[in-house]
Structure 1
Amino acid sequence: MRADRLVSLVLLLRQHGRLSATALARELEVSTRTVLRDIDALSAAGVPVYAERGRHGGFALLPGFRTELTGLNHDEALALLVAGSRRGAQAFGLGSALASAMLKVVDALPEGQRDTAAGAVQRLLIDPEIDLLSRRQAAEEVPDAVVAEVRRAVFAGHRLRIHYAAVDQAPYWRTVDPIGLVTVRDQGYLLATRSGADRTYRLSRVLAAEELDEPAQRPDRVDLNRAWQERSTRFRTGGDQVAVLVRVDPARRDELAGTALAVLAEEAEADGRLRLEVTFQDSRHAEWALWQLATNAEALAPQWLRTSLRNRATTIATRYAK
């Protein structure tokens, strides 16, 4: 890990010319003390890095210094393969590898192209952490050690023990045969089988993982897209789902449909509103979805949902009436 960091440090200095210890620490996600130790290590190894004092000082390389530092390691190459989505790399625990790989890719470009690329990057911002309303995007946090262990088992074709916390259940260890990894809207999933039955595990709920030496019981080739579609279909049509009859403002129709698992029926009413029959994962999902739409939607059935929404609204109204 330190060798990769030293390479990244040199590449950062090559591309930016001069950077302070604080800026380097931020880019490398380490402390300034670690950066200073790394600078000493580079100097001892013969890399011509020097310090410039003063308000605008920092560390820099002697002009013209160049070395072969562009070889990609396994994780960096893998990160580039999923780089179509920066958050996809984050979901699979490859965020730092992606940053390191991109440094090496830029450094490998001819000088003229490197300058052009650096200028172009300044004009692009992909997937910022907040939207126009300053709402922070809710990316799931998965410990690097956990997702790295899951990744290794998936790629090596080994069985995997996971300490998993399912919804409304106490976490416990289970042994699975991993098939592949999927990321959807910043959420990572492990597709696996357990005792021959299909299982889908959310990575953020994996508390610990252990790759086993046993080979996984799985086919040599897999169509992940098809496997995901099949599991998605089973998820929408099984379990403790609830069907809800809703009257909704046409302007909020897509929002409702996007939140629901499926739209079973739809018709227009005389007043211009739409009447939809939709399904939700469970009662909590249904209540949450309808509450988000406020007066733009009305649950017509079942009665328990109407009662639950009324009680919630009454509680809020009573609190603000004081």
Structure 2
Amino acid sequence: MKLERLISIIYKLLNHDVLSASKLAEEFQVSQRTIYRDIDAICAAGFPVVSYQGTNGGYGMIDGYKMDRTLLGSYDVNTLITVLQGLSTVFEDERVNGTIERLQTIGPEHRTMNLSVDFENLQTDPEALRQLREAITERHVVRFDYINANNERLTRHIEPLRLHFKHRNWYVYGYCRVRQDYREFRLSRMLNFTRTQDIFEPHPEMLNEAAEAAVSEQQQQDQWKEVVLQVKPDALAEVMDQFRQGDKQFHPDGSMTIRIPVHEPLKARWLRSILLSFGSGVEVLEPTELRGVLREALHNTLKLYEEV
């Protein structure tokens, strides 16, 4: 613990002009006398610490002293700092802040911000996200109610292994004790999240990427279909926000035809919801079966408002 504190103090002195002993003592929750001893140890290790007297006095590194910057280039450092700052806003992790501070000591003195990353998502409970990360680190089983793709509310106990941020949402991947298999759960569908005191050990039959790719190439081709949409000019922005990777063809009248590969499109509820949200701005051209699925969904919706 003392060594970790000494290292942290060194990086803080490198990143600040002057830091008082009282501020350092408060941050590390030790006495000022302990900080004085720590400063003596840092000086003995060869770091040029300077003492400043007066009301705004304290400790700092001698002017011009910098740590070796050859480990990472300025581009690498700036990118790492930006990504870590995005994560720190989500997890409120002091260890991440400490890493940022260490990277700043080897970064350029005048850093220009040309990249910004925001991992925050209003659909995810930030406290559940932080609790999940702790559960993964400490190997705690977690319990929650989950709304699955069939809109069923079921209780799950999982051994969480890792968090994913994809498709603008957070997911947790782990071993589900109910299904006795590895599953992925979307955090926005979780209710009554609890981190239990039950500790788990990793299973020897850990699922890997090779096992996930065991489906034959022919089966994969059968499951993926091309969805073709005709997009009116007033719906271009909405469609491009949702389907950035589609094959786009623009027409003289301002409309667009876009082709999107989708896994089992007739079963994809997410695709149905997105297409219906476009209203009359988008028409499905192919597959024709998907047109029937959307027609039925619209018909069922209209039934709700027949008396209005």
What is the TM-score of this pair, normalised by structure 1? 0.51
Task: Give distance in 1, aligned partners of 2:100 and 2:135.
Answer: 24
Asked if structure 2 preserves the Cα contact closer than 8 Å seen for 1:188 and 1:202, the reply is: yes
After superposition, give the CA deviation of every residue in 1:280-308 in whole Å (9 maximum; x if it has no partner): 876576345543x4653246652244457
The residue aligned with 2:17 is 17
Change (3 A) 1:6 1:86: same
Change (3 A) 1:86 1:187: farther
Task: Give distance in 1, aligned partners of 2:103 and 2:17.
Answer: 17
The residue aligned with 1:119 is 109
Asked if structure 2 preserves the Cα contact closer than 8 Å seen for 1:13 and 1:61, the reply is: yes
Task: Give distance in 2, aligned partners of 1:216 and 1:200.
Answer: 16
Indicate yes or no: 2:283 matched with 1:303.
Answer: no
Q: Which of these residues, 244, 247, 264, is aligned with residue 230 of structure 2?
A: 247
After superposition, give the CA deviation of every residue in 1:256-278 in whole Å (9 maximum; x if it has no partner): 37737x98x99999975537687
Report the alpha carbon displacement of residue 98 of structure 1 after superposing the two structures with TM: 2.7
Identity %: 10
The residue aligned with 2:287 is none
Please say which structure displays the higher CA radius of gyration.
2
The residue aligned with 1:286 is 272
Task: Give distance in 2, aligned partners of 1:51 and 1:149.
Answer: 46
Indicate yes or no: 2:239 matched with 1:256.
Answer: yes
After superposition, give the CA deviation of every residue in 1:194-225 in whole Å (9 maximum; x if it has no partner): 3443311235638233474553324368338x
Asked if structure 2 preserves the Cα contact closer than 8 Å seen for 1:246 and 1:276, the reply is: yes
Q: Which of these residues, 171, 174, 186, is aligned with residue 202 of structure 1?
A: 186
Q: Which of these residues, 183, 207, 213, is aligned with residue 165 of structure 2?
A: 183
Asked if structure 2 preserves the Cα contact closer than 8 Å seen for 1:86 and 1:95, the reply is: no
Q: Which amino acid in the other structure matches residue 47 of structure 1?
A: I
Asked if structure 1 preserves the Cα contact closer than 8 Å seen for 2:133 and 2:163, the reply is: no
Change (3 A) 1:187 1:12: farther
Task: Give distance in 2, aligned partners of 1:218 and 1:127.
Answer: 39
After superposition, give the CA deviation of every residue in 1:95-141 in whole Å (9 maximum; x if it has no partner): 5323212323454xxxxxx4xx2325x213532549xxxxx865842
Asked if structure 2 preserves the Cα contact closer than 8 Å seen for 1:83 and 1:98, the reply is: no
After superposition, give the CA deviation of every residue in 1:162-182 in whole Å (9 maximum; x if it has no partner): 212322555635144x55443
Asked if structure 2 preserves the Cα contact closer than 8 Å seen for 1:164 and 1:173, the reply is: yes
Asked if structure 2 preserves the Cα contact closer than 8 Å seen for 1:165 and 1:171, the reply is: yes
Report the alpha carbon displacement of residue 14 of structure 1 after superposing the two structures with TM: 2.7
Asked if structure 1 preserves the Cα contact closer than 8 Å seen for 2:84 and 2:100, the reply is: no
Q: Which aligned pairs between 1:37-186 and structure 2 lie closer than 5 A?
A: 40=32, 42-47=34-39, 53=55, 57=56, 60-64=58-62, 85-86=83-84, 89=87, 93=91, 95-107=93-105, 114=106, 117-120=107-110, 122-129=111-118, 138=122, 140=124, 141=126, 142-153=128-139, 161-167=141-147, 168=151, 170=153, 172-176=155-159, 178=160, 180-184=162-166
Asked if structure 1 preserves the Cα contact closer than 8 Å seen for 2:121 and 2:169, the reply is: no
Tell me the C-alpha RMSD between the 2 structures: 5.8
After superposition, give the CA deviation of every residue in 1:231-258 in whole Å (9 maximum; x if it has no partner): xx99xx69xxxx9985313796696377
SS of 2:39's equivalent in the other structure is: coil
Task: Give distance in 2, aligned partners of 1:166 and 1:280.
Answer: 24
The residue aligned with 2:205 is 219
SS of 1:119's equivalent in the other structure is: coil
Q: Which amino acid in the other structure matches residue 113 of structure 2?
A: L
Task: Give distance in 2, aligned partners of 1:123 and 1:6.
Answer: 30
Q: Which amino acid in the other structure matches residue 166 of structure 1?
A: Y
Unaligned runs of 5+ in 2: 41-50, 64-79, 285-290
Task: Give distance in 1, aligned partners of 2:123 and 2:34.
Answer: 36
Report the alpha carbon displacement of residue 4 of structure 1 after superposing the two structures with TM: 5.6
Asked if structure 1 preserves the Cα contact closer than 8 Å seen for 2:142 and 2:196, the reply is: yes
Asked if structure 1 preserves the Cα contact closer than 8 Å seen for 2:52 and 2:58, the reply is: yes
Report the alpha carbon displacement of residue 64 of structure 1 after superposing the two structures with TM: 4.0
Change (3 A) 1:187 1:51: farther
Asked if structure 1 preserves the Cα contact closer than 8 Å seen for 2:228 and 2:258, the reply is: yes
Task: Give distance in 1, aligned partners of 2:276 and 2:29.
Answer: 56
What is the TM-score of this pair, normalised by structure 2? 0.53
Q: Which of these residues, 174, 192, 212, is aligned with residue 192 of structure 1?
A: 174
